[in-house]
Structure 1
Amino acid sequence: MSAPRPSEPSKTKETLVWLTLLVVFGGAVFLSNARWSQITGIFTDGWRYLQLMGEGLFQNPFAEPYSEYWSLAFDRMLESVYMAWVGTLLGAILSIPLGFLAARNVAGPVTVQVTRVFLNAIRAVPELVFAIILMLPIFGFGPVAGAVALGVGAVGTLGKLTAEALEGIDPGPVEAARASGARQFAILRWAYWSQVLPEVISFWLYRFEINIRASAVLGVIGAGGIGSLLGQLFSRREWEQIGITLVVIIAVTMLVDSISGGIRHRIIAGSGTKVSTREKAEAAV
């Protein structure tokens, strides 16, 4: 006789967990005091605004004043890209020494703890706060304040990611360099940094993508870029130019994301060159 089939495990605990989550979610929706009756406005007022913004997109882009709209939108978007690029470079440069000081396999425990607290404090403050409190009073209105705010904001994230990458390296090259009598700087440069460089560069590129989006928000408070243009247009309710500006933002952001993603993949995965069957056979022989 075959052994009896084991009984199916009870799903009571799993069911209770899902019911509890459902009740919590329902309570949060009820206590949010949201005006759910206004959600139908998405299909009425929202569609009307989309139509107003779309009117400028179907006009001749070389005719006045639409050529000026497109030109101004691209100029301000390039300014946002420049802000993001400068901010990323600034954050990357500052994050390198902080990443080494925050890595447990590089620095001492006290230095690591102090550096990590500093990086956590930077990450806890949004770039918008840096721009309003620190950068605008120092640099005034314009893209310089926005670029520096993005750079300072990037230090916290890039420093933490660099430290984690350093902690995950292969200790073999480090031990070999120390056994050969290499100096500390040479060990940091060739045993530590050379191992994490591809991964760290991918972090920088990803932060550049984030900074492009953040630069649009900083522009609303006068820190330059496409956000400052959008703030002016919304205040004047110039819907045709708003539609053109939004399309430029979406197009440039998607282009930068695509290029940056391709570069990151190439850095991490390599060239991806395929080996032919004949080459594999010759190698096996």
Structure 2
Amino acid sequence: MSAQTATTPATVRPPEPGKTRATVGAIVLVVLVIGSGFLSNADWKELPSIFTEGWKYLYLMVKGLVQNPFAEPYSEYWSQALGGMLESISMAWIGTLIGAALSVPMGFLAARNVSHPVVVQATRVVLNFIRTLPELIFAIILLLPIFGFGANAGALALGIGAVGTLGKLTAEALEGIDPGPVEAARAAGAPRSAILRWTYWSQVLPEVLAFWLYRFEINIRASAILGVIGAGGIGSVLSQAFRYREWDFIGILLFVIIAVTVIVDSISGAVRHRIIAGGGADVKDADAERVVM
């Protein structure tokens, strides 16, 4: 057989996939986006005003930042902004603690390798229901009528909202553990409580701690939104400033929110990396420096 006719299947190029489906999908997506814009009843004629009028409000907000913070009324503005932000951080921290405390047993109940299948399904339904409702719903419908306006309702709303996410993540972490220590503890005759504590929980604790810190970051942002409906924190101060159109005060409030959020995110991210990665990287770097020296 000649070399020209000896063609193996491995050398045959497969046909190129058709692009018709992708093209039709892109066209449909564009049509849906444009149609949604027209059906939203938005006043698109006002869109250019963002560039013609928006800079004026930006100027007024920046003007409040460059004023002497010790002169009146700016000293009072900064005091209210920092006090409201401190209250928002407190709400976020308490909400995270509540969510963490409640999510641990919920996570064990929702883990397939820990609980009975019926218990797992029932617990996952509860966690899914909590995740589908935003913190605003918990605050408006359940907590504000009971606790009234203030930080208590906001902290509880953040805590309840955190249970759904943290419980699901905890259950998934438990399902991914190494089964070796569990089998060894069972073979040694350890009680179930000891198995759960020393073989399950000890393996997932660093990962779960990272989840808690990440949820704390989310709760800080959410606490500012909850404050708009009267649930305390800097959001309440911001809503009042918008009501009276105090643009210089609004600029100070937004600056404090952004600055504190970035600082907390940076610190929390570093701590989460330290928890997950451990000190191994630092030890290796130190050993490398000693070798070089």
Q: CA offsets, 1:16-47, max 9 Å, x none?
A: 33333333333333433332222111112211
2:222 pairs with 1:219? no
1:268 match: 276
Equivalent residue runs for 1:149-168 within 5 Å: 149-168=157-176
Kindly tell me: are residues 134 and 13 of structure 1, through their superposed partners in 2, closer, same or farther at Cα, counting changes over 3 Å? closer
Q: CA deviation at 1:8?
A: 5.5
Equivalent residue runs for 1:12-23 within 5 Å: 12-23=20-31
Match of 1:36 among 23, 44, 54: 44
Match of 2:207 among 199, 202, 205: 199
TM-score of the superposed pair, with normalisation by structure 1: 0.92
Match of 2:120 among 112, 117, 123: 112
SS in structure 1 at match of 2:65? coil
1:96 match: 104
1:240 match: 248
SS in structure 1 at match of 2:221? helix
Q: Percent identity?
A: 68
Q: Distance in 2 between matches of 1:182 and 1:176?
A: 9
Q: Distance in 1 between matches of 2:213 and 2:23?
A: 43
2:80 pairs with 1:80? no
Equivalent position amino acid for 1:216 in 2: A
Kindly tell me: are residues 205 and 8 of structure 1, through their superposed partners in 2, closer, same or farther at Cα, counting changes over 3 Å? same
Match of 2:76 among 68, 72, 76: 68
Q: Distance in 1 between matches of 2:158 and 2:76?
A: 29
Q: Distance in 1 between matches of 2:127 and 2:217?
A: 20
Kindly tell me: are residues 75 and 18 of structure 1, through their superposed partners in 2, closer, same or farther at Cα, counting changes over 3 Å? same
The answer for unaligned runs of 5 or more in structure 2 is: none
Q: CA deviation at 1:242?
A: 0.9
Match of 2:54 among 46, 52, 58: 46
TM-score of the superposed pair, with normalisation by structure 2: 0.90
SS in structure 2 at match of 1:55? helix
Q: Distance in 2 between matches of 1:181 and 1:109?
A: 24
Q: CA deviation at 1:7?
A: 7.0
Q: Distance in 2 between matches of 1:209 and 1:235?
A: 28
Match of 2:177 among 169, 191, 194: 169
Q: CA offsets, 1:199-226, max 9 Å, x none?
A: 1111111110111111111111211100
1:283 match: none
Q: Distance in 1 between matches of 2:248 and 2:30?
A: 43
Equivalent position amino acid for 1:226 in 2: I
Q: CA RMSD in A?
A: 2.0
The farther-off stretch of 106-115 and 126-135 is 126-135
Q: Distance in 2 between matches of 1:197 and 1:277?
A: 30
2:141 pairs with 1:133? yes
The farther-off stretch of 11-20 and 84-93 is 11-20
Q: CA deviation at 1:5?
A: 7.4
SS in structure 1 at match of 2:64? coil
Q: CA offsets, 1:119-162, max 9 Å, x none?
A: 11111111111111221222222111111111011111111111
Q: Distance in 2 between matches of 1:13 and 1:126?
A: 36
Q: CA deviation at 1:277?
A: 5.3
Q: Distance in 1 between matches of 2:118 and 2:139?
A: 31
